[in-house]
Amino acid sequence: MKYVALVFALFAGLCSAQESGSFQPSTTNVWAAEYPRVDTAGRVEIRIKAPDATKVKVNFWSGPKIDMVKQADGFWTVTTPALVPGFHYYTVIVDGAEVSDPNTQAYFGGGKPASAVEVPEPGSTYYSIQNVPHGQVREVWYNSKVTGSWRHALVYLPPDYDKDTKTRYPVLYLQHGAGEDETGWVRQGHANVILDNLLAARNCKPMIVVMAYGYAARAGEAPVDLFAKGFGSPEMMKAMQDMAVVFEDDVTQALIPFIDSTYRTLSDRDHRAMAGLSMGGMQTFQITLNHLDLFSYIGGFSGAAGVLSKFDVKTAHNGVFADPAAFAKKVHLLWFGVGTKEPEWMRAGIVRLHTSLDEAKIQHVFYESPGTDHEWQTWRRDLNDFAPRLFK
């Protein structure tokens, strides 16, 4: 999906006019790969071997396609203008064929494996691995009668989970966006590292985090290709909302019972949260507002506007917001986040929802990530702000 990737920076001028620093291999590279490389100004050098090709471009998903230059040794190279800090998906187009760069690890985004480069954010260490105790991320499979299939999820367990065998933990269900999958929050978002660092600084409560596969079709029904209907089209949004209803049943009828029976959870609503980015935010509000008997902490990271903003707040979801005092007693945290550089239609919807909730006197937190688009840097910041507010 085009809007899931990181935004390509506004060009500040020609590459030669920008201040250059020393280039270093990206942290996303495969073992011993020298390229892609990133310098202190945020520029990226990419080098691809394609001696028989006649035209090669690099395609950063939220930016322009850039022509690469063929060298005498058969390699094609390019140095980009400065990119905004964060995680950038890209592919390479070789004589019209779109392929991944074999020099980087593969990340699932846009509905397919893609390459990526990480541009460090100066001074930020909250999503960087530190010398602190680390939790574990485990893979699980659970059987869902809703979908008639075995389904996959990743589960983060806090550092002392195996040592303190009598301790029970609250649970955060954390969802990915459209075009990505359950691996995204760990591989692209570094959610486990963010939690490790927050816990080491005593800035959040120890918790279990469940990251589930967000695509679902009922048993006996064929999966729907969301993107075949046209990105952002009414047909795509309708298909996404229909899928959210199936996923709602999967979460409430299969996933939550599996997690509560497999791990030492605090299984009451006061110790259960859900949040998600983009499509995962939409799913979060679909599920939690229909099941306030199960959830008391709710977060939308660049999401939820499509579910809520088109309704009058007081009548949305069968009037769940009609009584502010009653809502405040049930929901311990209602949280919205959006990047200041996100597409205007998306940002405007979330800001409008924030304003409507203010007018309706519904307690909530509204966070704006400065200078970031519909991208992982926004969602990393969102989680870093959201997690410390849980289970107080």
**Residue 303 binned pLDDT confidence (cut-offs 50, 70, 90):** confident
* Same-domain status, 334 and 205: yes
Which whole number is the average pLDDT over 147-163? 97
Dihedrals φ, ψ of 273, to 5°?
-125, 160
CB 177 within 8 A of CB 277: yes
How far, in whole angstroms, is CA 150 from its chain's centroid?
23
| Residue that is written with structure tokens 């699980």 in the block | 140
Is 10 part of any domain? no
Looking at residue 63, its pLDDT comes to 77
Is 7 part of any domain? no
Strand order in the sheet with 333-339: 136-144, 149-157, 208-212, 171-175, 272-277, 297-301, 333-339, 365-369
Is 168 a residue whose pLDDT tops 70? yes
Which whole number is the average pLDDT over 128-156? 98
pLDDT tens digits for range 4-40: 333 333 333 333 333 445 999 999 999 999 999 999 9
Residues 6+ apart with CB under 8 A from 14: none
Average pLDDT over the chain, rounded to an integer: 90
* Same-domain status, 84 and 188: no
Residue that is last in its domain, among 119, 145, 165: 119
Residue that is last in its domain, among 88, 119, 150: 119
CATH number at residue 81: 2.60.40.10
The domain containing residue 240 runs over which residues? 136-389
* Domain tally, the chain: 2
Which whole number is the average pLDDT over 192-199? 98
Q: Is the pTM of this model over 0.75?
A: yes
Least confident range of 148-157, 184-193, 220-229: 220-229
* Same-domain status, 291 and 320: yes
Least confident range of 19-23, 165-169, 258-262: 19-23
For the chain, what percent of residues have pLDDT higher than 70?
90
* Same-domain status, 20 and 108: yes
* Same-domain status, 44 and 157: no
Which whole number is the average pLDDT over 99-118? 95
Is 65 a residue whose pLDDT tops 50? yes
* Same-domain status, 144 and 48: no
The 3-state secondary structure of 64-119 reads CEEECEECCCCEEEEECCCCCCEEEEEEEEECCEEECCCCECCEEECCEEEEEEEE
pLDDT tens digits for range 330-356: 999 999 999 999 988 888 888 888 988
Q: Nearest Cα to 60, choosing from 22, 107, 115, 102?
A: 115
* Same-domain status, 213 and 248: yes
Q: How far apart are CA 180 and CA 1, in angstroms?
A: 8
